[in-house]
Structure 1
């Protein structure tokens, strides 16, 4: 029996996060995308909790090395049920062809309901639309601080190739992706951001990281101008980001982005510079 199906591990360290990883046994049909293949875990630090789900490659060898992808969900999937964060994107990594072609560790953390992945002030306008004002400094949010602790834990405790650490996200998670890239400038080998945004003053901090940026031109939640200005600033700084803008897509441009046949091959082709 595979060790992941029977193990319940408890790690306690003084002045460090308390990690509880609960790996449950499930019979997985090779032709069925069963989200329960994502094992449940929790990071607890000083009373704050970050639920997460983790998918291991088939035949995972704890003595081997694997690329790892951290995926940040959108605002609608916040909470503590450790399930909603799998709503968008998780099924992509469960297809037999993807798991065979890209044997990687995939981690989906869940942001607390009262927090946000990035430092951004959101103001509601009279017409119902929202304006996003991205910050360039300041302490990370609770969600981001816990996420960065989770990254540290995964890199220490799992069989990770530290030259192949990746990040991606959608909407709030794309905003968090940009923030994580600027806060951990030497960590990630590449990343992707779907319908997100950032302050252009932050772009120079991650211009060295290969990025693929997606957005729907009809997005009425996070306007595509937020991605356009980031792409323009990256290019001004000499970077060569991938950029895909869907003329007819609204906010759910992640559907089209996840369907891009070259996304994962592009992502996993990069190693840390």
Structure 2
């Protein structure tokens, strides 16, 4: 199925109509199965009210070009002059909407994001209770002094060594902080991709090990389990 564009009333600080794109797996209409879902948070330059800014970009569009991508992908658009940390409430509400209206495996909902979206994923993972089963921040950043907030949170983070926008040291500082307090975290570092969203996303989600890692984690509302 092609990526489709939608809008909903957002319970955001701006209380405006917010846009999002939705990818449904190509076999969605031919089965009765429930599908795991990924919330994807985009980077800073895709903010606004023009949903076409997300066309050809991000995880939903990567998924559309894969024959067997096993996840529903919902990609909200952050309002202009805001960021994902301020849009948490309506973004999570959007996940609930998709869950009610499509066949979503409620125990297997994950969060991934790039750049500002990677920062958003770190932020969402730091909150409690956590609605997601595992987190994939790409080329993002967070405050290492807040590492204690991530106890027992499944995170696999990705960053390019030659990133020319968000230094890889941001991710390495978080990984070091988490490791120092005994919190398991996986990290993969690329070379040659710089801060190219579609290249980083494609490299990351072409990794069969990451797909298997995500699907191992469930969140039944009482905590994450394997």
The whole-number CA distance in structure 1 between the counterparts of 2:181 and 2:104 is 31
CA 1:149/1:159 → structure 2, altered by over 3 Å: closer, same or farther? same
Comparing both chains, which one has the higher relative contact order based on Cα–Cα distances under 8 Å and sequence gaps of 6 or more? Answer: 2
Q: Which of the residues 27, 41, 44 maps onto 2:9?
A: 44
- Which residue in the other structure is 1:204 paired with? 148
**Correspondence 1:159-170 to 2 at 5 A:** 159-170=103-114
Indicate whether 1:117 and 2:64 are aligned: no
- Which residue in the other structure is 1:98 paired with? 68
- Given that residues 194 and 254 in structure 1 are in contact (C-alpha distance below 8 angstroms), is that contact kept between their aligned partners in structure 2? no
Q: Unpaired runs of 5+ in structure 2?
A: none
Scaled by the length of structure 2, what TM-score is found?
A: 0.82
**Correspondence 1:160-199 to 2 at 5 A:** 160-199=104-143
Q: Following TM superposition, by how much is the alpha carbon of 1:187 offset from its aligned partner in structure 2, in angstroms?
A: 1.6
**Correspondence 1:212-227 to 2 at 5 A:** 212-227=156-171
Q: Unpaired runs of 5+ in structure 1?
A: 1-27, 29-36, 119-140
Q: Which of the residues 196, 207, 211 maps onto 1:264?
A: 211
- Which residue in the other structure is 1:145 paired with? 89
Q: Following TM superposition, by how much is the alpha carbon of 1:253 offset from its aligned partner in structure 2, in angstroms?
A: 6.4
Q: Following TM superposition, by how much is the alpha carbon of 1:108 offset from its aligned partner in structure 2, in angstroms?
A: 0.7
Q: From the CA coordinates, give the structure whose radius of gyration is larger.
A: 1
Indicate whether 1:76 and 2:45 are aligned: yes
CA 1:116/1:233 → structure 2, altered by over 3 Å: closer, same or farther? same
- Given that residues 38 and 55 in structure 1 are in contact (C-alpha distance below 8 angstroms), is that contact kept between their aligned partners in structure 2? yes
- Given that residues 188 and 209 in structure 1 are in contact (C-alpha distance below 8 angstroms), is that contact kept between their aligned partners in structure 2? no
- Given that residues 67 and 161 in structure 1 are in contact (C-alpha distance below 8 angstroms), is that contact kept between their aligned partners in structure 2? yes
CA 1:206/1:52 → structure 2, altered by over 3 Å: closer, same or farther? same
Q: 1:246-266: per-residue Cα shift (whole Å, max 9, x none)?
A: 244422265145224233233
Q: Following TM superposition, by how much is the alpha carbon of 1:63 offset from its aligned partner in structure 2, in angstroms?
A: 6.5
Q: 1:65-107: per-residue Cα shift (whole Å, max 9, x none)?
A: 22111000000111112232341333321134333xx2x2110
CA 1:239/1:253 → structure 2, altered by over 3 Å: closer, same or farther? farther
CA 1:214/1:45 → structure 2, altered by over 3 Å: closer, same or farther? closer
Q: 1:90-130: per-residue Cα shift (whole Å, max 9, x none)?
A: 3321134333xx2x211011101121113xxxxxxxxxxxx
- Given that residues 124 and 130 in structure 2 are in contact (C-alpha distance below 8 angstroms), is that contact kept between their aligned partners in structure 1? no
CA 1:156/1:61 → structure 2, altered by over 3 Å: closer, same or farther? farther
RMSD: 2.4
- Which residue in the other structure is 2:179 paired with? 235
